[in-house]
Amino acid sequence: MGQMRAYGTSVLASKQISEYQQHRLRELDTELRDAFKTSLSTLTRPAATIRNAGAAALVSEDVGRLEQQMAKLLLMDVLSDSFVVSSEEFYMLATEAIEEGYKQLYQVLLPTNGSHDQCA
């Protein structure tokens, strides 16, 4: 997501895109989708063993929604040469997606439900 954020922001700021940049953005989009699917399948297994499957579902919904918004903006706006979205708006959306991803991963991997014993 970070690479897509940097690349998309750069292209939107310059309001022009080369054929190579279009190809690279499509590659990044595909890589992001593949990594997202792999991460989710990996996370849901441990989540079930720690009785936190609901948190894994949150990762799927929240981060997936943000990832789709980011990819949709990038693909529809940048790759179509319309450049309607500002680089700042895209940067903020991508940053929100990244932050939400880390937040949700943290909740899945380190749940805080008060049932952990305190170390003395």
**What is the model's pLDDT at position 52?**
53
- pLDDT tens readout for residues 2-18: 888 898 899 999 999 89
Say which residues have a Cβ less than 8 Å from residue 117's Cβ, sequence separation at least 6: none
- Neighbour-count burial for 43-80, b at 16+ CB within 10 Å, e otherwise: bbeebeeeebeebbebbbeebbebbeebbebbeebbbe
**What is the model's pLDDT at position 50?**
46
- pLDDT tens readout for residues 80-98: 778 888 999 989 988 988 8
The token duo for 44 is 């849901």
Residues in the chain where the model's pLDDT stays below 70: 36, 38-64, 111-120
